Amino acid sequence: MTYELLIQHGKTIMYPPIVDGVTVEWERQGQPGKLTFEVIKTENLSFEEGDPCRFSVDGEPLFYGFVFDKSRSGSSPEKVKVTVYDQLYYLKNKDTYVYSNKTATEVVKMIAEDFGLNLGTLDDTGYKIETRTEENTSLFDIIQNALDATTKAKTEMYVLYDKAGKLMLTNIGNMKLGIVINEETAGNYEYKSSIADNTYNRIKLLYEDSDAGTRQVYIAQDSSNINKWGVLQYYEKLNDATNAKTMADALLKLYNAKTRTLKISDALGDTRVRAGTMLVVMLGLGDINLSNFLLVEQVKHTFFNGQHLMELKLRGGKFVA
C-alpha cells in the first residue's frame, strides 16, 4: 500500500513526507470530511490556510480538500499538524432561501451554484417539495431538511458527500458494498439496541385549515408494538394535507422498529467505505446474531506504516436491508 500527499501553494506543488500517519474521517450528515496529518517543516515546505490538498492511496485520490488549521507545539516545533476539510465545509455557511416545487436534488444544485461548489453525480430524488422557507439556516440544514422531506414522502434515504473534490448525492440503495465484517475482520465492538432514539409506534399528523375552521387528524399505529413498548408517538403539524395518510403510513414503516448501533474498532481497512455505505455484518451480539447490511454512520480511516485500519459506527433497525 502506497500513500501520496500533495499540497499546492500557488503554482508550487509539494509532496511533504508524512510523520505519524494520516486519518480520514467522514460522517453521514451535517459534517464535512476531515483529513489530518503531521509533516516536518523544512526550508522548501511553505503552505497556507486555504491551499488545496489531495491524499491518494495506491494511486487513487481518496480525499481532496483545503487546509484550514495548522498547529505545532514547543516540544516539537519542527512538526506541523495539519487539518484539511473537503468542500462540504462551506455548507456550514448560513443563508435564507425561499423555494417552491423543487426536489432535494435541485436544492443541492441551487446551493452549489450559489456557493461555487464542484458538482459530481447527483441522483434524482424525484419528490417535489411544494414550498419551503429557510431563514438564517445553515446550508447543511437546508439540504438535510429537503432530504428529510423526501425520506418521509418516499421512505428512501439519500447521502450527500464529497468524493475527492466532487459533490455527490446518492441513494443508499446504491451504496452497498460486498464487504463482510465478522469476527476475523473486526477488532473490537460496542453494541446497543434501543427504542429511545427515533423509534415511534404511533404517527399522528395534524392539519388545520384556519380559513375553514376545520382540523384533520391522520393516525397510523402498530397496536402490537404499543402493547410491548407503550405509546411512542411522533407528532407533526402539517401545512398541507395532500398525501397526509400516505405520509403517516410511510413514517410508521420508517420508525416502527428498534434502532441498533454498533461501533467497531481496528477493522481491516477498505478505501471504498465512507459514511452512507452499507456493509454486511456477521457477528454474534448476545441478543441477536447479525447477518445483515448495516449503514455506516461514521468512519475513521487510519493509515500508518503501510497498515490501514477503520473505526466504524454502524446503524441497523429501520435501516437494515
Enumerate domains of the chain plus CATH numbers. 3-85 (2.30.300.10), 90-172 (3.55.50.30), 175-195+258-319 (2.40.30.150), 202-255 (no CATH)
Instruction: Please count the residues of the chain.
Output: 321
Q: Look at residue 287 and give its three-state secondary structure.
A: coil
- DSSP H helical ranges for the chain: 104-115, 139-154, 223-229, 244-255
Give the pLDDT confidence score for residue 319 in this predicted structure. Answer: 36
Q: Is the dihedral of CA 98, 101, 104, 109 positive or negative?
A: negative
| Per-residue pLDDT tens digits of the chain, which is 321 residues long | 888 999 999 999 999 888 878 999 999 999 999 999 999 888 888 999 999 999 999 999 999 999 999 998 888 888 899 999 999 999 999 999 999 999 999 999 999 999 999 999 999 999 999 899 999 999 999 999 999 999 988 889 999 999 999 999 999 999 999 889 888 888 888 888 889 988 999 999 999 887 777 889 999 999 999 999 999 999 999 888 888 898 899 899 989 988 878 899 999 999 999 999 999 888 887 777 778 888 999 999 999 988 999 999 998 754 332
Alpha carbons 290 and 301: distance in angstroms, whole number = 24
Are 140 and 91 in contact, with CB atoms under 8 Å apart?
yes
pTM: 0.83
- At how many degrees (to 10) do helices 104-115 and 139-154 cross? 170
What is the per-residue pLDDT for 317? 55
